[in-house]
């Protein structure tokens, strides 16, 4: 499936986007207040959108079936840009670099609002409507937002937020729902922009401290999108089913900005429910369905918990639905299934391959501060179990030994006794964020002197003889990275040994009695730390212990005895009804330990 010629040309014109690329001489971006469409800056994103087939669908609202074409997108963005300036009581040029927060549902309106802010050369701060008002106020204050834009759906929430205590109250900008794309005959003019002051700011989940604002300038966003496009071959024929929240890097860069750059179609179906996803996937393949007018979904990128829930519910579907969904997932229809944002358990990956008749989940690793950094390749042999592959195009990655603090050079992956050396992943290149907003201390702390970002994630690099031969592109070669987990929560130090919580979890999840688990470290007087597990049992697990009792610590020990060294096997096990996760399926292990085992020293 090839990229359009024009799109490839645009990507190759600016091989590495930098601030310099935007510091073109020429007219300053200005707004037009005469009733004509406002101009937009000549950035790679707007140039690409302008070059796409105007008839093709940019955005579809899955439930209503409403479609919005690339032909109307830029016009609606120009109109929204002007409205934003009017609401703020300023010329659009005077909004450059300002933070504009917005509360808009997953829809065409979200896309238009985000692009209008980028088109104003301002910084877009997407807010999650699911957050309590107090947290949203913190973000508004921390970012110093000048404007809070809201859709009519969240107007009450926005009022509630603004009625609370704030350092400085942002200007409220209410957006009307766009029911039909603009039919204006006028073309949107793209003008040179003096300097890139815009971008997007996402807030970290703040597991230890208050959330930090991660500033991703436009050139960084484009470098991220370009890198993904090269690796995963986004194209105008791709049709995304978008079910992710839009205040996170996964939903915004991987599943929104990159498809827009490539001219793909994004179909929003939110919030995620297993039934609605199965129904949508099946629609084009059901013989008695009005859904036959719906196109097959070709690209689906979500987190492991979503794949898990889909897998667990599949057998409850009707026979017709089961066969239609299998057809939808078959590699001939679904071009690419991606998993990330948390570790993908191998049994889940295998179950998806079996269900789809050969669609192997492609795993990648990334984070808010760096976009996507490591990825398996498009060729099936380059989607290796338990691995996140290679540094994506333009990403420089290295491992820094946890003990010696030296860089693990290629070829030095084993120590003198033949043991794997684990190291912190450090990253550099055009895809890395610029700074934590208004927090120079945190920014300085997380970068090395030679410009690498310290991710706080630990990995090993392994040679996999069957993979990395270049079938997925030049970037996907050599030894592959495997994530051991976050240094702060997943690397458990038992005596002198390091245990990767993710590796233990992976083994535990292959035991049928266990449906979900989180491996954590508890303090131990003897060993410094000991390994413990919090577990949700499967139906079978409830009677899988001795004499029909629930599966317990002894059964776990027996199950893992031949698979891992004794010090890695959890000493304690607690069974719970459910493990709390955030919107991206992540577990806050620090909180979980306190909840389940009580405070640790
Ligand atoms: P966030 O910034 O919320 O996207 O969280 C990023 C964190 O998620 C990373 O620092 C990793 O700890 C974790 N993560 C992302 N992708 C993976 C993956 N494929 N495997 C394991 N952990 C992952």
Does residue 483 line the site of ligand 1, with CB under 6 A? yes
**Which whole number is the average pLDDT over 338-362?**
96
CATH assignment of 489-597? 3.30.300.30
User: DSSP letters along 557-580, please?
Assistant: HHHHTTTS-GGGS-SEEEE-S---
Instruction: Please check the confidence at residue 125 and state whether its pLDDT lies above 50.
Output: yes
Q: Which residue has the tokens 């299998």?
A: 326
Share of the chain above pLDDT 70, in %: 93
Quick check: helix, strand or coil at residue 331? Answer: coil
Whole-model pTM: value is 0.92
Ligand 1 atom closest to the CA of 584, numbered from 1: 3
**What is the C-alpha separation between 464 and 90, in angstroms, rounded?**
58
Does residue 342 line the site of ligand 1, with CB under 6 A? yes
Does residue 341 line the site of ligand 1, with CB under 6 A? yes
pLDDT for position 36: 87
Ligand 1 atom closest to the CA of 486, numbered from 1: 12
Quick check: helix, strand or coil at residue 482? Answer: strand
Residue 62 contacts residue 280 (beta carbons within 8 Å):
yes
Is the bond leading into 271 cis (omega within 30 degrees of zero)? Answer: yes
The tens digit of pLDDT for each residue in 254-270 reads 999 999 999 999 999 98
**Which whole number is the average pLDDT over 441-467?**
97
Ligand 1: residue whose CA is nearest its atom 12: 486
Ligand 1 atom closest to the CA of 455, numbered from 1: 10
Mutate to test the pocket of ligand 1, among 247, 303, 349, 457 (most ligand atoms within 8 A of CB): 457
Average pLDDT, the chain: 92
Does residue 253 line the site of ligand 1, with CB under 6 A? no
Mutate to test the pocket of ligand 1, among 341, 446, 500 (most ligand atoms within 8 A of CB): 341
487: CA distance to ligand 1 center in Å?
A: 12
432: CA distance to ligand 1 center in Å?
A: 15
251: CA distance to ligand 1 center in Å?
A: 14
The tens digit of pLDDT for each residue in 498-538 reads 999 999 999 999 899 999 999 999 999 888 999 999 999 99
Instruction: Please check the confidence at residue 8 and state whether its pLDDT lies above 60.
Output: no
Beta bridge partners of 174: 150
Mutate to test the pocket of ligand 1, among 363, 483, 501 (most ligand atoms within 8 A of CB): 483
Does residue 343 line the site of ligand 1, with CB under 6 A? yes
The tens digit of pLDDT for each residue in 391-426 reads 999 999 999 999 999 999 999 999 999 999 999 999
Ligand 1: residue whose CA is nearest its atom 1: 367
pLDDT for position 30: 38
**Which whole number is the average pLDDT over 164-189?**
95
Does residue 484 line the site of ligand 1, with CB under 6 A? no
Instruction: Please check the confidence at residue 12 and state whether its pLDDT lies above 80.
Output: no
Instruction: Please check the confidence at residue 488 and state whether its pLDDT lies above 70.
Output: yes
Quick check: helix, strand or coil at residue 314? Answer: helix
The tens digit of pLDDT for each residue in 57-106 reads 999 999 999 999 999 999 999 999 999 999 999 998 899 999 999 999 99
**What is the C-alpha separation between 526 and 144, in angstroms, rounded?**
49
Q: Length of the chain in residues, anyone?
A: 601
Nearest to 367 by CA among 217, 581, 224: 224
Does residue 363 line the site of ligand 1, with CB under 6 A? yes
**Which whole number is the average pLDDT over 339-362?**
96
pLDDT for position 291: 53
Q: At what angle do helices 274-282 and 304-314 cross, to 10 degrees?
A: 70
Instruction: Please check the confidence at residue 480 and state whether its pLDDT lies above 90.
Output: yes
Does residue 312 line the site of ligand 1, with CB under 6 A? no
Domain boundaries, the chain: 489-597
pLDDT for position 399: 98
Does residue 367 line the site of ligand 1, with CB under 6 A? yes
Spatial CB neighbours of 128, under 8 Å, sequence gap ≥ 6: 245, 247, 583
Mutate to test the pocket of ligand 1, among 301, 349, 365, 371 (most ligand atoms within 8 A of CB): 365
pLDDT for position 16: 36
Mutate to test the pocket of ligand 1, among 301, 348, 366, 384 (most ligand atoms within 8 A of CB): 366
340: CA distance to ligand 1 center in Å?
A: 7
Number of other residues whose CB lies within 10 A of the CB of residue 322: 16
Give the pLDDT band of residue 130 (cuts 50, 70, 90).
very high
Residue 133 contacts residue 116 (beta carbons within 8 Å):
no
**What is the C-alpha separation between 394 and 375, in angstroms, rounded?**
12
362: CA distance to ligand 1 center in Å?
A: 15
Nearest to 214 by CA among 128, 148, 123: 123
Ligand 1: residue whose CA is nearest its atom 15: 341
Strands 528-537 and 572-575: parallel
Give the pLDDT band of residue 25 (cuts 50, 70, 90).
very low
pLDDT for position 290: 61
pLDDT for position 33: 43
Ligand 1: residue whose CA is nearest its atom 10: 367
Q: Which helix (H) or strand (E) holds 443?
A: helix 440-446
Ligand 1: residue whose CA is nearest its atom 4: 367
Nearest to 240 by CA among 266, 270, 273, 268: 266
């Amino acid at each position: 499936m090839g990229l359009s010629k024009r799109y490839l040309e645009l990507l190759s014109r600016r091989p590495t986007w930098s601030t310099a690329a935007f510091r073109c001489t020429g007219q300053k971006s200005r707004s037009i207040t005469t009733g004509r469409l406002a101009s937009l800056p000549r950035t790679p994103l707007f140039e690409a959108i302008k070059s796409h087939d105007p008839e093709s669908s940019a955005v579809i609202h899955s439930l209503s079936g409403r479609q919005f074409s690339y032909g109307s997108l830029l016009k609606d963005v120009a109109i929204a840009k002007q409205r934003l300036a009017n609401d703020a009581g300023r010329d659009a040029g005077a909004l450059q670099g300002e933070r504009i927060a917005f509360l808009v549902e997953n829809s065409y309106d979200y896309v238009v609002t985000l692009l209008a802010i980028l088109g104003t050369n301002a910084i877009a701060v997407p807010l999650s409507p699911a957050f309590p008002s107090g947290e949203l106020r913190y973000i508004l204050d921390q970012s110093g937002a000048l404007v809070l834009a809201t859709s009519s759906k969240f107007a009450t929430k926005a009022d509630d937020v603004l009625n609370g205590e704030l350092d400085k109250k942002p200007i409220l900008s209410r957006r009307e729902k766009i029911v039909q794309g603009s039919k204006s005959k006028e073309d949107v003019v793209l003008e040179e922009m003096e300097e890139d002051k815009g971008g997007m700011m996402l807030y970290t989940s703040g597991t230890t401290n208050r959330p930090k604002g991660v500033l991703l300038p436009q050139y960084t966003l484009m470098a991220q999108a370009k890198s993904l496009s090269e690796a995963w071959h986004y194209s105008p024929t791709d049709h995304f089913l978008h079910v992710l929240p839009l205040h996170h890097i996964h939903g915004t860069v991987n599943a929104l900005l990159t498809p827009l750059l490539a001219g793909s179609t994004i179909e929003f179906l939110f919030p995620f429910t297993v039934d609605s996803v199965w129904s949508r996937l099946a629609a084009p393949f059901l013989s008695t369905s009005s859904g036959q007018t719906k196109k097959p979904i070709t690209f689906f990128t979500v987190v492991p918990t979503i794949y898990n829930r889909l897998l667990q519910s599949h057998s409850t579907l009707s026979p017709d639905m089961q066969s239609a969904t299998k057809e939808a997932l078959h590699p001939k229809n679904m071009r690419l299934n991606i998993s990330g944002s948390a570790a993908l358990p191998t049994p889940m990956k295998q179950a998806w391959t079996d269900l789809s008749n050969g669609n192997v989940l492609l795993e990648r690793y990334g984070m808010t501060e760096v976009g996507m950094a490591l990825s398996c390749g498009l060729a099936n042999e380059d989607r290796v179990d338990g691995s996140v592959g290679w540094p994506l195009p333009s990403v420089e990655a290295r491992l820094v030994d946890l003990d010696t603090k030296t860089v693990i050079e290629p070829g030095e992956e084993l120590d003198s006794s033949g043991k794997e050396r684990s190291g912190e992943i450090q990253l550099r290149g055009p895809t890395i964020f610029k700074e934590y907003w208004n927090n120079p201390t945190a920014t300085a702390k997380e970068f090395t002197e030679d410009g690498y970002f310290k991710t706080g994630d630990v990995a090993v690099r392994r040679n996999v003889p069957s993979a990395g031969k270049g079938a997925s592109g030049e970037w996907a070669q050599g030894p592959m990275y495997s994530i051991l987990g976050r240094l702060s929560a997943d690397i458990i130090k038992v005596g002198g040994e390091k245990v990767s919580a993710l590796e233990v979890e992976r083994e535990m999840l292959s035991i049928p009695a266990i449906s979900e688990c989180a491996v954590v470290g508890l303090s131990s007087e003897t060993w410094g730390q000991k390994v413990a597990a919090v577990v949700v049992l499967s139906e079978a697990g409830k009677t899988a212990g001795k004499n029909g009792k629930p599966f317990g610590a002894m059964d776990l020990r027996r199950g893992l005895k031949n698979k891992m060294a004794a010090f890695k096997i959890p000493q304690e096990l607690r069974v719970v009804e459910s493990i709390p996760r955030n919107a991206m399926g992540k577990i806050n292990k620090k909180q979980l330990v306190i909840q389940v085992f009580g405070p640790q020293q």
